[in-house]
Amino acid sequence: MEKKHILVTIPLSQEQRDALEQEGTQVRFRLGEALPSGRGGTLPFPQLLPAEPVTEEDMAWAEAILGNVAPELLKKAPRLEWMQTSSAGVEPYLHPGLLRPETALTNATGAYGLAISEHMLGMLLMVFKKLELYRDAQRREDWASQGQVRTLLGSVVLVMGLGDIGGDFARLCKAMGAYVIGLRRTPGPKPAFVDELHLTGELDSLLPRADVVAVTLPGTPRTRGMLSRERIALMKEGAVLLNVGRGYVVDTEALCDALESGRLGGAGLDVTDPEPLPPGHRLWQLPTAVVTPHVSGGYHLWETHERIAAIFAENLRRFLHGEPLKNQVDPASGYRRRDDST
């Protein structure tokens, strides 16, 4: 039996490499040497490791790709049967003509919920407890109270998107005593970790109720601009907006206006529009905005890296045995198919 050609573009430990070099595979690794075994601070930071460039010859050779490559290179991959991204978002790969219709596309849903939901909670508590204001005061050597703070207990949290990330964040908020409203695009059973479940068509009626609006939506044509100036105006006075989905889901200028006027109580943003946020943008200077440079995911938490590698290994086993793949993406919607084998 001829071996499948597997191109891997993420950093892996030797144990993780061994898991991919199964019988029936011929593997090319494109991130240099294997990582040392272990966890956390003893390891090189994977995102800083120099990658070997993926060549057109690699693309012509590959029958499966594990990891993200420059989208334009996919046009040089006539044999590609399957692409497994290391990201949850796949919008760069959905443009017509990049992938052949018969090429399966799967994502890393299930890897990021822990890291990003904890990052969201950290940003939210920072705003609720005015820690960002105290940080600014610390730099001024200003020993003064910043006034009353808030609690998640009894707060109404609206989570826009109940996938891996939104679901984990909803669980955290529920555990801390919040009243959680979940928003999804298609009907389905109500998870135990939300108090109410609604469809996206009901968003306008939910925004005025929420003390916290948390955006975990992927980037698709339907989500672009979903939190428009008009919808930001519907938000409850003093509400906090969190966004870890895509920056362009939110009207940035409208958000800045609402923060500057004090109508919104704060924002925690790991994604922005534009991104990267350019020097001089007023969002940098807004005291109630907590901005991080799209770092809640990635490999900043080692557990995320391990989860990505485990998804790769499991899906490779399925690929080699002709079984349904996990996390298959519907190219038309940009969302993971719910009827895949998960």
User: According to the per-residue pLDDT averaged within each range, which of 9-13, 319-323, 335-339 is highest?
Assistant: 319-323
Give the pLDDT score at 39: 54
- Is 294 noted as a catalytic residue in this protein? yes
- DSSP designation for 113: H
Check: CB of residue 221 under 8 Å from CB of residue 167.
no
**Which entry of 5, 294, 305, 321 is annotated as an active-site residue?**
294
Q: What is the mean pLDDT of residues 57-73?
A: 96
Q: How far apart are the first and last CA of the chain?
A: 28
- Which residue did the predictor score with more confidence, 263 or 53? 263
Under the banding of pLDDT at 50, 70 and 90, the label for residue 132 is: very high
Reference 194, options 228, 217, 160, 219; nearest CA is 160
Residues 216-226 have pLDDT tens digits of 998 888 999 99
**Tokens standing for residue 166:** 């939104």
- The vertex-101 CA angle with 98 and 105, nearest 5°, equals 70
Residues 98-122 have pLDDT tens digits of 999 999 999 999 999 999 999 999 9
**Tokens standing for residue 221:** 């044509």
